[in-house]
Structure 1
């Protein structure tokens, strides 16, 4: 056995065998090289995925699996360099079993859940989802322990992979399709329903993110009920795929457009109120009674028609700006696709 004092061939005791110090350095270099190679390959595939329009889920699967494979290959080669016989993994398997028994069940569970998510066609990177707790956003990344969901407000929510498998998840953009949405509104009793339908549909169709009329995608107005002081309606409309990923802004934009349309058509939007009817005042009735107390002028002004003021639909402008920004982001690889 060579002397430990020999610096060039120093030996390090590892268990029941001795390993040259230079072999340990080489093994460490191999492991580092494996991690660097995995990082470079993942970055290259990520940039490729950003540039293409189709096949992104497949590229993401290749990106993740190649990264894991390179890291594991580096570890196995490093162990071989140390002289460890890889055909005999009884000790290693036993150590892993003890580790799992001591508290690694959660780590293994999340890692396996992440692999399941990578291959799951129902929940993929780039989909806009809604969780049971109300969190909504785009799946930006599926990691070995948790997935990252980026909301429309720019927040990054880290969710354990198992939660996306075990909990109910609403996928707003599954298979790249649009969704029909319902926007409620109310008008006063006695209003012409046909007029309400015409002006609201016209306003919805004038919105830039409403799909063109077709046999399947029809913009409609439904009368849904009778309220205490109003007729309850719903605008039923099919927005574009990009607008579906921004439900809050989309709903606000349609609501604004509906209010503008109703006000322009001088259709009353009711609010809870209590009317006090006076049949006789100072021996007078009707308009004569109002004149007696000097209220005729105020009453006439309240019912005088006025031209609606032009308004700016901030929600619609923000939605269009977000869609345009997302298109620009596709031309700049490496950026998140959040709203």
Structure 2
């Protein structure tokens, strides 16, 4: 059977131009479908290329916010995808003005029902672009959550506590609330450990005991700029109140409760060794008047 190329090509062209269905005023045929496939392939290739180049640029720079460039690469990829999708839909025959109306309806839905989700998404982008929070920081939230930042996602941030419990915190809590970042700029921090001794104790001996106790705890930092000190803070009801003021390394900083326990343990050992009394709660009772019968019984006894 002989095939004539001059006859086949017009047949293929006619078949490719044959309209399958209509979208608006545009007939969808093989040409338009192949064009849409080409657009999708180009958008996929260009978005991945752009993302790789942005990440490669961040990897070659040592003094840049890597998490910020990661977010920038993701946003750039999404922007290319959205633009390519709109262009492809327009090529296929969709009316973009209809999509604009749909986008307005989505905006109204965000304003009413999806406000919290949208707020977390925007907050996640801000956190990733900002330098105030990064993976590895030790933070304390206004809600009382304290732990190490393990992951910053678009919608949430994952924090691991000292008990190895993962807590998922909405990103908006970091933006709207007060956050203490223990490792924001300095790798060390200063702790105040309160303790009390009995009235009549030698203040200088108490100070020496506190300083010596701090030196026995591994991770204590002592230098010309960061000195160990003991402050007399208050004349309490039952005791002279002191505070051990000490600088600690990151290992101790990330476990505040355990660190306080270590210093209190060392302080108690040092005070006991120096025979400095730690008082019990006590009250002095002064009797101004007493019944005669009770007074006679007391005198008789």
**Aligned-pair CA distance for 1:134:** 0.8
2:204 to 194, 207, 222: 194
Q: Does 1:233 align with 2:242?
A: yes
Distance in 2 between the 1:152 and 1:245 partners? 8
Taking structure 1 as reference, are residues 98 and 222 closer, same or farther at Cα in structure 2, changes over 3 Å only? Answer: same
Greater RCO (CA < 8 Å, at least 6 residues apart):
1
Taking structure 1 as reference, are residues 85 and 183 closer, same or farther at Cα in structure 2, changes over 3 Å only? Answer: farther
1:176 to 177, 186, 191: 186
Check the 8 A contact 1:31/1:75 in 2, yes or no.
Answer: no
Larger Rg: 1 or 2?
2
Taking structure 1 as reference, are residues 28 and 196 closer, same or farther at Cα in structure 2, changes over 3 Å only? Answer: same
**2:140 alignment partner in structure 1:** 130
Gaps of 5+ in 2: 1-10, 286-301
Q: Does 1:118 align with 2:128?
A: yes
**2:228 alignment partner in structure 1:** 219
**1:272 alignment partner in structure 2:** 281
SS in 1 for 2:221: coil
Distance in 1 between the 2:48 and 2:102 partners? 27
Distance in 1 between the 2:189 and 2:212 partners? 20
**1:67 alignment partner in structure 2:** 74
RMSD: 3.9
Taking structure 1 as reference, are residues 119 and 71 closer, same or farther at Cα in structure 2, changes over 3 Å only? Answer: closer
1:167 to 153, 156, 177: 177
TM-score, normalization: structure 1?
0.64
Q: Does 1:101 align with 2:108?
A: yes
Check the 8 A contact 1:203/1:257 in 2, yes or no.
Answer: yes
| 1:1-339 paired onto structure 2 within 5 Å | 11=20, 14=23, 16-17=25-26, 18=28, 20=30, 55=63, 58-84=65-91, 90-103=97-110, 104-214=114-224, 216-273=225-282
Distance in 1 between the 2:189 and 2:159 partners? 21
**1:333 alignment partner in structure 2:** none
SS in 2 for 1:134: coil
What is the aligned residue count? Answer: 264
TM-score, normalization: structure 2?
0.71
Check the 8 A contact 1:33/1:74 in 2, yes or no.
Answer: no
Taking structure 1 as reference, are residues 265 and 39 closer, same or farther at Cα in structure 2, changes over 3 Å only? Answer: farther
SS in 1 for 2:185: helix
Check the 8 A contact 2:55/2:73 in 1, yes or no.
Answer: no
